[in-house]
Amino acid sequence: MPTPPIGTHQFANKVEEMVQNHMTYSLQDVGGDANWQLVIEEGEMKVYRREVEENGIVLDPLKATHAVKGVTGHEVCHYFWDTDVRLDWETTIENFNVVETLSDNAVIVYQTHKRVWPASQRDVLYLSAIRKILATNENDPDTWLVCNFSVDHDNCTPTNRCVRAKINVAMICQTLVSPPEGDKEISRDNILCKITYVANVNPGGWAPASVLRAVAKREYPKFLKRFTSYVQDKTAGKPILF
């Protein structure tokens, strides 16, 4: 079973529900599912998309899988969650701030995104939680998860300046260890992080489908490559954080 709800904040049960849903559904293989199109395959990275529109608004769910050597799931999730380093690797954000710190591992974040012409500028208000998933049996890989999902907050109501988008995103990371020979210590050469990234984004208003899909096809692989390279660079030569 996953760990108990984190903290006693007002969103604790919602976080728990989101974590359970991602652990149940987001890790399922979509390779043989005709509803999912493989849009990018580069080395270990595969990016899938399911084309969904509602009332003319593109809601395409996206799922990506990747495998990165030399880093752990804890490290990847830590850098994805830690707002102190967000702007080191995230290039689509204009600015952001932490609206409320709910607990040691859950914050509410407001961010505005750089405008993609010809659509209006978007902003998002979301809860971001990081969690270690407790193994159900001893063969389960060490698993960490970050989930980001839209919430409402009295201190950050929508304005006319931006269209408020809604998100439900998860970064699920599993660490695989190949034991070193003899009695050598485990090094970064012995670890591999398997990443599953899922993103459901409702842009909150009209934006041209062709533009949205072209941007998504270009930006998601770029983000995964840039972000995982960033984590490899930041952790190189440092003690392994399991």
Query: 27-78, pLDDT tens digit by residue?
Result: 998 878 889 999 999 999 999 999 999 888 899 999 999 999 999 999 999 9
Distance CA 96, CA 156 (A): 12
- The answer to whether the CB of 178 falls within 8 A of the CB of 197 is no
From residue 92, give the alpha-carbon distance in Å to each of 3, 86, 114, 220, 223: 32, 11, 6, 11, 9
> Two tokens at 150?
């839209």
Say what the pTM is: 0.94
Give 64-117 pLDDT, tens digit per residue: 999 999 999 999 999 999 999 999 999 999 999 999 999 999 999 999 999 988
- Is the pLDDT at 2 greater than 50, yes or no? no
Calculate the CA 189 to chain-centre distance.
25
Name the nearest CA neighbour of 11 among 143, 132, 125, 157: 125
Domains of the chain: 12-29+36-180+187-235 (3.30.530.20)
Percent of the chain surpassing pLDDT 70: 97
Higher pLDDT, 189 or 2: 189
pLDDT value of position 4: 46
Calculate the CA 1 to chain-centre distance.
21
